[in-house]
Amino acid sequence: MQLPNGLKSVLSNLDGEAWLRFGLSVVGLALAFFAALLSTVARESGNLAATTLFASTALLLAGAVGWTTVPYLTRRVAGGRLRNAFDYEITKEGIAYLGVALIIGIAALNTNNNLLFIVLAAMLAAIAVSGFASAAVLRGLELEVILPETTFADRPIVARVRLVNPRRWIPAFSVSLAVAKKKKKKAAWEWQKTKFVFPKQNSWLRLPDYTLRRKPPAAKPPEIFEKPVYFTYIPSSTTAEAQVELKFPRRGRYSQDEFRLATRFPFSFLVKSRKIKLSRELLVYPALLEADDFLDVLPMVTGEFASNFRGRGSELYLIREHTPQDPVRFVDWKATAKTGALKVREFTREDERRLRIVFDNPSPGAVSVPAYERAVSVAASLAEHFTSQNVDLSYAALGYSNGQSLHDFWKYLALVQPEKGASILDSLPVSDDYNIVITARKPGSISTALWASSYIIYMED
């Protein structure tokens, strides 16, 4: 026998575990009630042993039901209330409205005018209706935030915000997605191990000691959304989508653990909001330099790189005078006709165009913050440019070991910070690749062998 579709949907939405616990609790309580009746009968008949047995059985059954069912239902109710908990914030309009209601209430008490009491009752009823309506608008709404996979600093991206209204009959009006309010962090204190020294000059006595010190708050990544997203109307059983343009001023990790759905519907007396636990994380890559800022470095890099790999490829390297050893097929007839002398074309060797970008991370304070950020952007921009030119690229940096993937190198550059330690130039693997070295070290500290096969970009202020 096939069930109707409506009944199937109802059965699919039922919580099987909750109904099973409910059925078992009903059976357990029924058995406990029956045992209690038997204990009463046994007491009337004067059978002390049977009375004790049945009474104990009834008590154990009732206790078992309470132990297994009540905490479970309490957690479900508490969890549901927590998920649907609302925050209230009175608006300027609401304050003015309450002020007028207070004046009318005082006037009604002083004059005993029934009309003023009716007006006051209507105003208070409007506040109650506003509370119920706004709660009904927010309850049950589901949120989905979709972020792009690749994001660069100082470049706008488009994020999609979807608000789902799964209810069959109740639409939603005037709902906005707002960033959760930042709570003020309370001062945290912790006990730290120290040494008790007496006297301080001679240190004759040294004993282990503890002192109470303020614990610095943990640094949290900046949030993704800083402006609200507004939805005018969401019909029942539909999904509304809004596209939001986001722009991040700096590279790094951005995250958001909580969002708020807020509404002023219907009278704007209160801003009622509901928290939604939804975690989103975004890794912002370094800013890619514009052509005007980048082309001043690129021709010099390309020239030295190409001269290191001259051969028979398809990319033109130079036009020079013809020699008897040159094949006829490399003769440039246009250049020959223009100059009156036989000219040949020389190309780069595409099969051996291997390049390695080396980011030499400096120590803290070695360069200024703007110079360091520009160096990171130069490394990211060079990697993007040569990848688009089909150059065989590899990367080297202290703490980087993710191979030749461009996105892995961008991820490294997105999170890198100045760090004390050995330089990557001191342990750079030997290779035939041509190197582009981005460093803050002075020219005299770079080895001659590395200098001969590298183009050096200095991190300068």
Can you tell me which residue has the tokens 């001191």? 426
Q: Give the pLDDT of residue 130.
A: 84
pLDDT in tens, 158-184: 999 999 999 888 889 889 987 766 655
What interhelical angle do 48-83 and 16-45 show, nearest 10?
160
Residue 57, pLDDT > 60, answer yes
Q: What span, in angstroms and rounded, lies between the C-alpha atoms of 99 and 94?
A: 8
Q: Residues of the chain with pLDDT > 70: what percent?
A: 75
Per-residue pLDDT, averaged over 240-262, amounts to 90
Cis peptide before 221 (omega within 30 of 0): no
Lowest mean pLDDT among 118-122, 291-295, 364-368: 291-295
Does domain 86-285 correspond to CATH entry 3.40.190.10? no
Q: What span, in angstroms and rounded, lies between the C-alpha atoms of 75 and 82?
A: 10
How many angstroms separate the first and last alpha carbons of the chain?
81
Strands (E) across 235-325 are located at 238-246, 252-263, 270-285, 310-321
- Please state the pTM of the whole predicted model: 0.64
Share the mean pLDDT of the chain.
77
Burial environment of residue 86 by CB neighbours within 10 A (0 to 12, 13 to 18, 19 or more)? middle
Which among 346, 358, 360 has a CA at the least distance from the CA of 433?
A: 358
Is-contact 385 448, C-beta < 8 A? no
pLDDT in tens, 254-295: 988 888 899 988 888 888 888 888 888 999 999 988 766 655
